[in-house]
Amino acid sequence: MAKEANNDFECRANHLLRSIRLCGGCIPLDRLQFQFSDSVIQTLLDKELVQVQNTGRGFLLEIAEDFNS
C-alpha cells in the first residue's frame, strides 16, 4: 500500500513538471493552489527541480535552470 501511495505521489510530481513545461517553463504559484498539494510542490523544491521567483506581483514556480540543461 505504501508503495502504491509513493507511485501516486511521484505521478503527481511528474504531472506538475509536465504542466510547468507546457506553460513555457513557469507558472504562477497561485494557479497551482487547488491543483497540486503543497507537499508535491515542496518535494520538487527540495529536489531542486523547480524554483520560486518573486516577480513583485506574485510568485512564479519555474523549472530550475540546472535541471533544464
DSSP notation for 34-57: TTS-HHHHHHHHHTTSEEEEE-SS
Q: Spell out the domains of the chain, with CATH numbers in brackets.
A: 2-68 (1.10.10.10)
Provide the whole-model pTM.
Answer: 0.81
pLDDT at residue number 65: 80
Say yes or no to pLDDT of 38 above 70. yes
For residues 61 and 67, the answer to whether their CB atoms sit within 8 Å is no
Strand partners, 62: 26, 51
Assign 5 a pLDDT band (cuts: 50, 70, 90).
low
- Determine the Cα–Cα distance for residues 39 and 51; give it in Å rounded to an integer: 14
